[in-house]
Amino acid sequence: MALRTQIAPDDCIEQYEKAAGEHREIGFEMLALGSALGVEMLALSVEMVLKAAYFRLIGYAPTRRIGTTDLRDAATDIQILGVSHLAQGFHNLEFWAEGLISLHKAGLPGRLRQGRSYAAVPAQPLPAVEENNLRHCAARLMTNWAIGDRYKSLEPYANKQDLTDVFDDAMTIIYLYDQGSI
């Protein structure tokens, strides 16, 4: 039996949250050591948090299976809400952040619920400061995540401000999730 099938149960909100916490802790340690792997781990943690926020917002139970079809449906629905599909597929932090912002603004339009078991999402825009923080942090973290070789030392490429930005951006988005804002 492949290792993946032994240790990787179906994705769900609970799994995203657990993995996000594990990646976050590793990310802190790697950043402290000056490794670019810290940026990778924190960005992956945020990716999982944004996906968990999206599926929680549309009414998925914490243990409901999230498969590739669900991710494709989410990407389609986000595009219907007016968010352009960006490169990096399901890994694009800006795409998920903009999807959440749009979903909060528009609610879940009826055409998205046809044939799907989504809960009705009331149109309740994020407060402007939270929307701006989410958008800004996702964009800057996405930019910092696009480093060439994630497995080498950040020296001499990243300065202290770059690392502070990565940490702050990740923690801002995680905080918004933990507070139930997104």
**Residue 6 covered by a domain:** no
**Residue 130 covered by a domain:** yes
Domain that includes residue 91, residue range = 11-178
Placement of tokens 């494709």 in the chain: 72
**Residue 5 covered by a domain:** no
**Residue 137 covered by a domain:** yes
Burial 40-66 (b: 16+ CB within 10 A, else e): bbbbbbbbbbbbbbbbbbbebeeeeeb
**Residue 3 covered by a domain:** no
Placement of tokens 């993946």 in the chain: 4
CA atoms within 13 A on the CB side of 33: 14
The total number of structural domains that make up the chain = 1
**Residue 95 covered by a domain:** yes
Q: Are 125 and 131 in contact (CB under 8 A)?
A: yes
Residues in the chain, total: 182
What are the pLDDT tens digits along the chain (182 aa)?
A: 455 555 445 799 999 999 999 999 999 998 888 788 888 899 999 999 999 999 999 889 999 999 988 998 888 888 888 898 766 678 899 999 999 999 998 876 554 555 565 665 666 889 999 999 999 999 999 988 876 655 566 666 677 788 889 999 999 999 999 999 99
**Residue 120 covered by a domain:** yes
**Residue 2 covered by a domain:** no
Rounded to two decimals, the pTM is 0.86
